[in-house]
Amino acid sequence: MGFIEKYHAAVQQNKSLVCVGLDTSPELIPQGMSVLDFNKAIIDATADLVCCYKPNMAFYEAQGQAGWETLLLTMHYVPKNIPVILDAKRADIGNTSEAYARAVFTQLKADAVTVSPYLGFDSVEPFFKNKDYFAFLLCRTSNKGAADFQSLPCEYEGKKRPLYEIVAEKAEKWNVNKNIGLVVGATYPEELRDIRQAHPDLTLLIPGVGAQGGDLKQAVHFGVNKNLSGIAINSSRQIIYASKGPDFAQAARKATLTLRDEINKHLGELKK
């Protein structure tokens, strides 16, 4: 199964729209424990409560060769029925992106990857031209500096529109294999609402809930599609560091369960 099939199956089985970010820093985990063992414990504690996992490559690249091995083993440890989004934010000129895509999908065997559309179509096409690949294009990211470029008005088809809207429209046009989604932060709820209304069928990866302060109710109400699905709400630090003690895995499970149930409560509000 590709990403979208795995995602829908996990949503149904686990009744969850939660994505757990495995952004693991060695200095923040129990002393004497390896990052791999920490990740395994988090996965064991939460696998029945999530729709996907999202390791961020930066935290593993920073650990050198050992980090690459940890990333590979972590991704392989995730149950086969749960999709893995590799948060890599890659993209470059065409032949370089071809190599990035091979690394992500062939070597690391990710189900999906985050990519930057700044260099244009030829830089991102390698991540979705194969129908078995899936790419989340950075559209309206959750960080404060997102407005520096993403909100800039640009001339497009005779109108001035913010750049993030053009990215979303390009993604829709390029989505011939139904394997492109968008990254849209919960910290910009109005933009999230507008993107969903304009692109009802695209899958949205929504960071920014939790440590970054995004409003969960708005993220759910504004983000879901007509089937009350089509989103993956990411939480990283709030879950994996829910406790710094030996009970970290149990605390992570409790935090994931709480987030899942809160999301489902807001879904229930939309059914009324």
Q: Which residues are catalytic?
A: 89
**Of 115, 112, 107, nearest to 130 (Cα)?**
112
| Residue 85 · residue 74 · CB < 8 Å | no
Q: Which of 50-68 are b and which e, b meaning 16 or more Cβ less than 10 Å from the residue's Cβ?
A: bbbbbbbbebbeebeeebe
Which helix (DSSP H) or strand (DSSP E) does residue 218 occupy?
helix 216-223
User: Running DSSP on this structure, what letter comes out for residue 15?
Assistant: T
* Selection from 208, 231, 234 nearest residue 54 by Cα: 234
- Give me the count of residues in the chain: 272
Neighbours of 77 (CB within 10 A): 15
Cβ-proximal residues to 94 (8 Å cutoff; 6+ apart), any chain: 122, 123, 125, 126
Helix (H, G, I), strand (E, B) or coil at 140: strand
Task: Say if CB 93 and CB 65 are below 8 A apart.
Answer: no
